[in-house]
Amino acid sequence: MEQDGKAQLSQQQTASSNGPSAEDNFCFPICELENDHVKLTPFIPSVHGPAYWEVTHAHPEIYTFLPLGPFPTLDAFLAHIAPRWVPRPDQFIFAIYSKASACAPTLDADAATHTNTDTETPYAFAGLCGYISTVPAHLSTEIAYLISLPAFQGTGVMSAAVALLMQYALLLSSEGGLGLRRVQYQTDANNERSLGLARKLGFRLEGVMRWKRATPGDKEGLEPRAGDARPETKGRHTAVLAVCWDDWEEGVKEQISRPGHVMYAA
């Protein structure tokens, strides 16, 4: 475990015979990320998909502010994510594992636990997170796909996971990070819980993009005008927040590097 507060990374590469190789897809090097609270490993649809659906299918409220779901069957969920939730140059998704097993869901799926090889302690599958819209030429990325499984909502798991993504993105290469200049965060402008998480971690509101997304008509949203080209959908105002390298160096780095959130070698 990291003792002196310096962020380090696991040297283990995250290629898997059961899933895509991160090295061959995402535009930046990817490795497992870990702090005292959570461990992030590559999301593999065939491994994590069934476990995710098993826990979430009875909780449609998870999708209230998301432009996807709910999914009535596992097949429907897998069909949706197959072309979308895969590593590509601008995107990479992680499975979140919580180190607090007390609230671990009861699942038969292998993805429900992840073993710490040093201590043989099982970690519980707790949700998803990742990077999207990554542009190496501009040294920028966006944190997205933030979904906590029901048992882990309000436990601090997502805060710890986002803190890891921020550290890996914004720390200089000499500190074990990518040295990016900008990390963006977008959310439904009415999603106070998501906005609260972002603000707690130092993201600054840059503005609200009105009617940024078309959302499924069965979700809450803005009603379109008469004669709209897609009357079966609704609209969403999107809040745009960001942490840039100067915010990071001027206080955000210390703000999120509190006990339990500091990234260290696995």
Which structure tokens are listed for 246?
Answer: 């100067």
Query: Does residue 63 come out as left (phi exceeding 0), alpha (psi in the -120 to 50 range) or beta?
Result: alpha
pLDDT tens digits, 56-68: 999 999 999 988 8
pLDDT at 149: 96
Choose among 171, 172, 178, 185: nearest CA to 133: 185
Question: For the residues 91-106, what does the mean pLDDT come to?
Answer: 77
Instruction: Say which DSSP state 250 is in.
Output: I
Query: What is the C-alpha separation between 213 and 216, in angstroms, rounded?
Result: 10
Global confidence as pTM: 0.85
Choose among 119, 82, 83: nearest CA to 99: 119
158-167, 213-222, 239-248, range with the lowest pLDDT: 213-222
Instruction: Say which DSSP state 13 is in.
Output: B
Choose among 184, 186, 177: nearest CA to 253: 177
Model confidence band, residue 87 (pLDDT cutoffs 50, 70, 90): confident
The SS3 of residue 175 is helix
Question: Does the pLDDT value for residue 198 go beyond 60?
Answer: yes
Residue in the structure block whose two tokens are 């009617």: 211
The SS3 of residue 113 is strand
The residue type found at 21 is S
Query: What is the C-alpha separation between 138 and 68, in angstroms, rounded?
Result: 29
Say if CB 49 and CB 77 are below 8 A apart: yes
Query: What is the C-alpha separation between 246 and 68, in angstroms, rounded?
Result: 34
Q: What is the mean pLDDT of the chain?
A: 86
Choose among 185, 181, 88, 107: nearest CA to 146: 185
Query: What is the C-alpha separation between 19 and 46, in angstroms, rounded?
Result: 8
pLDDT at 241: 98
pLDDT tens digits, 73-82: 999 999 999 9
Domain architecture of the chain: domains with CATH:
33-101+121-257 (3.40.630.30)
Say if CB 7 and CB 263 are below 8 A apart: yes
Query: What is the C-alpha separation between 214 and 222, in angstroms, rounded?
Result: 9
